[in-house]
A and B are shown apart, each in its own frame.
Chain A
Amino acid sequence: MHSSRDTTGYSVRSFFQLALVIAAKDVRAELRSRTALQSALVFAALVLVVFNFARDPTALSATELAPSVLWVTFALAAMVALNRAFMVERENAAMDGLLLAPIPREALFLGKLLANLAFVGTVEAVTIPLFVLFFNVNLGRALPGLLSVTALATLGFVAVGTIFSAMAVRTRFAELMLPVLLLPFMVPPLIAAVQVTSRLLANRPLSEMWGWLRLLALYDIVFVTLCMMIFSAVVDE
C-alpha cells in the first residue's frame, strides 16, 4: 500500500494493479450479497420470455427479431445491474473510505468499470445460452464474433453507465435518473451491435460489419477515456 499522499507517483503497472484491487473488492462484495447479480439474471430471463410471447410467430420469424431482442435484453439487464451495484455500495458507505485514500480517481473509475463489466458480463454470459434456447438460434461459427461484439458494445455503455450511476446514486429518484441519462448513450452501441449480430447470425462476410465494428471501437476509446478523466468531477468535492 502506498504510504505517501502523492497520487501522481504511480507507475502504469501499479495503476492497473490498484484498479484490479478495487475491482476485486467490489466483485467480492457482490458475490457475498449477490443482490445485483440475482436481480439482473432473473430480469434478463424474464425479458427473454416476455419477448417470446410478445410476438406473433406467423408474422415475424425468430431470426428476424432475435438480434434486437438479445440487445434490448442486454441493455435493460445492464441498467438493472448498474443501479443495484451502486446502491449496495452506497448503503455500505464503502466509497467514502476509498475516497479518503490517495487513490487516483482514474484508477478508481477503472476498478469500478472492471467490476461492473464483470457483473454485466456474467448476466450476458447466462443470457446467451437462454437466448439460443428460446429463439432456436443456430450459433455455429458465429459464437466468437458474437462474443467479440458483445464485449465491444458492453464496454461502451458500461463505461458511461458507471459514471452516470455514480452520479445518479447521489440524487433523488436515482432509479429513474440512471435510465433517463444513460439511454441516449446506449443507442449508438446498440444500433451497431444489433447490425453486427444480425449479420453474424446470417453468416455474412466480415466486410459488411467492418464499419459498425469501427464505430464501436471508436465509441469505446472516446468514452472510456473521457469518463475516466472526468470521474473525479463526480466523486470529489
Chain B
Amino acid sequence: MIASSAETQALRVARRGIWISAVAFLGLAAVVVLALAFTPVEARQGLAQKIFYLHVPAAWAALLAFSLVGITSALYLWLKDPRLDRFAAASAEVGVVFSAVMLTTGPIWAKPIWGTWWTWDARLTLTLFVFFLFIGYLALRAAVHDTAERARFSAVVGILGMLLVPFVHLSVYLFRTLHPQPIVLKPSAPSLPAEMLTTLLVSTLVFTVLYVGLVTARYGLALADEAREEARDAA
C-alpha cells in the first residue's frame, strides 16, 4: 500500500509536535533545577511547598485543554469543520494527562501541608470533575464508530461539560460559605517572593509549550490515521 501524501503531511505535523514537546521537556528540566536550587525553601511548609511549581501550571494546562475542548466543540456544531473535532479529541486526550498530573500532585502536596490526602475544596473538586468529564468524553468517542456521529456526540458532551464547571464551582462555594471550614494553611502566599514568582511563570510557560507540542503531535497522529483509513478504503 502506497503511503499517500496526506499521510506524509500529517506525519510532518506530528513530528513537529514531538519536537516542540521535546524542547518543552528540556524547559521542564530547567524548571526542576530552578525549583530545587533557585527558589527559597518556604519556612512554614518546607520542601513540599515546591510541588506548587508543577501542580499549578499543570492545573492551568488542564484547564486550558478543557476550555479549548468546549470552545472547539461549540464551533464544530456551528461550522461542521472536522479539523475542529480532531483538535477537540487531541486536546481532550492531552487534558487527561495533565489532569492526571494534577490529581496526583494535588494529594501529594496536600498530605504534608494540610494533613489530609483530600479535601472537597474548590480546586481539588473541580480537578476531579474535569478529569471525569474528560474520561466520559474519551469513552464516548471510543464507543462510537461513525466519524460524523462521533464528532457530533463529542461536541454535545464538550459543550455541556464546559457549562457544568461553573455550577460545580458555585456548589462548592455555597457549601463552604454555609459550612465554615477550619482555617487551613494557604499553600501560596498572597505576595510571592520574586524567585518563586519567576519560577512559577517559567513553569507555566513550559507547560503551555508542552501542551501545544503534545496536542500538535496527537492531532498529527489522528490526521495520519484518517489518511491511512481513506487510502485503504480507496484501494
Contact = CB atoms under 8 A, between A and B. Distances in A.
A167 interface: yes
B171 A171 contact: no
B170 interface: yes
A166 B163 CA distance: 19
Interface of A: 160, 163, 167, 170-173, 177, 180-181, 183-185, 187-188, 191-192, 195, 208, 211-212, 215, 218-219, 222-223, 226-227, 230, 233-234, 237
B132 A171 contact: no
| Range of interface residues on B (Cβ < 8 Å) | 20 to 34
Residue of A177, A180, A191, A233 contacting most chain B CB atoms (<10 Å): A233
Nearest to A183: B132
Contacts of A173: 143
Contacts, number: 82
Interface string B151-169: 0110111011101100110
Given A170-B144, A184-B132, A185-B164, A191 B175 contact: yes
Contacts of B139: 177, 180-181
Contacts of B133: 184
Given A167-B153, A192-B171, A215-B171, A230 B159 contact: yes
Interface in B99-146: 129, 132-133, 135-136, 139-140, 143-144
B167 A219 contact: yes
Contacts of A223: 160, 163
Contact of A212 (B136, B155, B161, B174): B174
Contacts of A226: 159-160, 163
A182 B164 CA distance: 11
Contacts of A181: 136, 139-140, 157
